[in-house]
Each structure stands twice: as C-alpha cells, then as structure tokens.
Amino acid sequence: MDSEQMRKREIVADYLRRPSEPESLALETMLAAAGESLLQADYDTSTLLLKDITAVLDIYPQLGLRAFAASPLAADYLKLVQAALAAGYQPQRIHLEGNTAQVWVSTSGLQLSELSFIREQENWMMSGLSSNYFLGPDDRTAGGLSLTAMGNSTAPR
C-alpha cells in the first residue's frame, strides 16, 4: 500500500513513526500492554507495567541499556524485542505470560505475524510463527492495535 492510500485510510503510525532502537521499542510495547490492560480493567497489570517503565526511564540517562536490569519484566520485553529484531521483524505488540510470550511483528506494510517464544533459562527462543494479520482502517483502538486475522478465525486479543 502506498503512503497516499495509507493517509486516506488514516493508517499513519507505521508510516510516520519511529525510533527503532530496541530500548525504545521495548518501552513502546510495554506502554501498549499497559494501555491494553487498562482498557480491560486489569489495573494491577497496568500499574505494574507503568511502574517498571518508570523504573527504567528514571535511570536510563545514566545507565543506557543496563537500566532494563532494574526490572525483570522490562528486561524480558527488551530481550523479546531484540530477538524479534535479530530475526528480521519489527515488534508491534508483546503479550507475556509466565515462560511464554506472543510477539506480533511486521516486516513492512500492514501485515502482522505472531511469533511465539519460550523462555529457556535467561533467554527467549522463538518457538513458532502464526498466520498473518491485517491492520485495517476499522481495526484501530484508542489503546493500541486491534487486529483482524487473514485466513484465520482467531485474531489475537
């Protein structure tokens, strides 16, 4: 899709954005997860994410990437972002649950894929790739991405 068509459909975030540094993407995906938790009235998760983001930001000017060690959750987000980037993907959304994670990623354009990761000791290893999703003009929410599955009846929550 060209930029004119994207502007007509009001899909400009991916066109106009972005810092692409891993630390920026990790914090961005954490903010998106906090927003999603807030919309779902999961205030404990939202508060935890925001506190961890603040902990990282408070010491980032002095420590750089080492600031993520202040929060195990933030460190996990950073590792997942780095793993997705190393595989050639741009992370858009991350859902962590215990030792598993789903990362919605893009390579370009509006199609997203879901990567599955499992924690192996201190590292996250990719365990699978799901079908593509399409971000369409009616699939935006105030709190982040809303996705429509292409050729799949189950879209991510």
CA gap 101, 91 in Å, rounded = 12
- pLDDT of residue 5 exceeding 80, the answer is no
Structure confidence by residue, pLDDT tens digits, 27-41: 999 999 999 999 999
C-alpha neighbours within 13 Å on the C-beta side of residue 30:
29
Predicted structure pTM score: 0.73
The answer to whether 71 touches 48, Cβ cutoff 8 Å, is no
Per-domain residue ranges for the chain? 3-149
Structure confidence by residue, pLDDT tens digits, 87-101: 989 999 999 999 999
When pLDDT is cut at 50, 70 and 90, the band that residue 16 belongs to is low
Residue 127: the pLDDT is: 87
Give φ, ψ of 147 to 5 degrees. -120, 150
